[in-house]
């Protein structure tokens, strides 16, 4: 697999999962079948978003970036990181907002 394919498929999967995650977060009745209620579902989603993107960026850096692609990779990872952290914050707040 090439770096372009890796990033394309990873990006497409991230967009689909982001849409599912946001829809689950804004629906207080969302649940994962009979296994997980809304709060447990939220913990699963936030955990996945907290762990998988850094692992994805690490694998891209270690396995797919040639030395001549490192500057471009740094830039795209910085941009993706900012979007990822914003999404993670929105999901964490949406699932676990503090009630006053």
Residue 38 contacts residue 28 (beta carbons within 8 Å) = yes
Mean pLDDT, the chain, whole residue set: 88
Taking the CA atoms of 66, 71, 73 and 77 in sequence, report the sign of the dihedral they define: positive
Domain count of the fold of the chain: 1
pLDDT of 73 strictly over 70: yes
Comparison of pLDDT for 9 and 68, the residue scoring more: 9
Helices (H), 1-100: 3-26, 38-59, 70-96
DSSP state of 99: P
Residue 47 contacts residue 40 (beta carbons within 8 Å) = no
Global pTM value:
0.81
Torsion angles phi and psi, residue 32, rounded to 5: -100, 85
pLDDT tens readout for residues 33-61: 777 788 888 889 999 999 999 999 999 99
pLDDT of residue 20: 92
Residue 56: domain span: 3-96
């Amino acid at each position: 697999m090439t770096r372009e394919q890796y990033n394309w498929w990873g990006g497409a999967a991230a967009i689909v999962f982001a849409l599912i995650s946001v829809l689950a977060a804004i629906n207080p009745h969302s649940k994962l079948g009979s296994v997980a209620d809304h709060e447990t579902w939220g913990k699963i989603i936030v955990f996945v978003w907290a762990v998988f993107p850094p692992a994805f960026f690490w694998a891209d850096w270690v396995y797919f970036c040639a030395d001549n692609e490192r500057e471009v990779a740094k830039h795209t990872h910085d941009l993706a990181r900012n979007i990822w952290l914003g999404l993670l914050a929105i999901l964490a707040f949406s699932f676990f907002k503090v009630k006053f």
